[in-house]
Amino acid sequence: MIATFKYDYEYICLKLWKRIQTQFKKQKGRLNVVRKMVELGIRVGENGKLYVGEVEVNDTAIARAAGVDRRVIKSTTKQILENPELRDIFTRIKPVGASLVDVAKILDYSVLVIRSDPHKPGVIASVTSVLAKHNLVVRQALADDPDLIPEPCLTLVVDGKIPTKAIDEIRSLPLVKSLTILK
């Protein structure tokens, strides 16, 4: 048993992806499909169809997004449903919701993109502490999974304009490797 949640989460993500990779180790196309499914929160229904939330997704659209033939989608979903471990994962996975990043400017929000070591704890806590000290509200936090994304980052959508002093404080945090403000 691992002592704290932050380590449990990291362990679970790594453990989840390693399990998936093991099941598809000699099937690159199918691995691309399940990677896209995890990225988008696409689940497999008991009927073998794919869903984002409760909305059915066309096999052809997923095939295009994963860069595979449509038949690879069918064989992947069949393999998932026949494997109890994969079935447990992929019949329960859900999308995390809509990103506000591309509409932030319209809503008068600011967007921070932070790069750091994704395996070190405290990045979110240290950055949001600075924001809270300046009475800024985080509307959305999006953290890339380092086991799925080669260059993971933390993206924060913040209500209003971020003062220069807050930006300087965030840049000076030891855990922060780089900070980009999207306009």
Q: Widest CA span of the chain, in angstroms?
A: 55
| Partners of 158 in beta bridges | 110, 138
Q: Give the per-residue pLDDT at 145.
A: 78
Q: What is the CATH number of domain 101-182?
A: 3.30.70.260
Question: pLDDT by residue (tens digit) across 94-142?
Answer: 988 889 999 999 999 999 999 998 888 999 999 999 999 999 999 999 9
Nearest Cα residue to 109 out of 64, 165, 142, 158: 158
- Is the pTM here over 0.75, yes or no? no
Question: pLDDT by residue (tens digit) across 36-58?
Answer: 998 889 999 999 999 999 999 99
* pLDDT band, residue 16 (cuts 50/70/90): low
As given in the structure block, the two tokens for residue 122 are: 């405290």
What ranges do the domains of the chain cover?
5-90, 101-182
133: alpha, beta or left? (left if phi > 0; alpha if psi -120 to 50): alpha
Q: Give the per-residue pLDDT at 14.
A: 53
| φ, ψ at 182 (rounded to 5°) | -85, 140
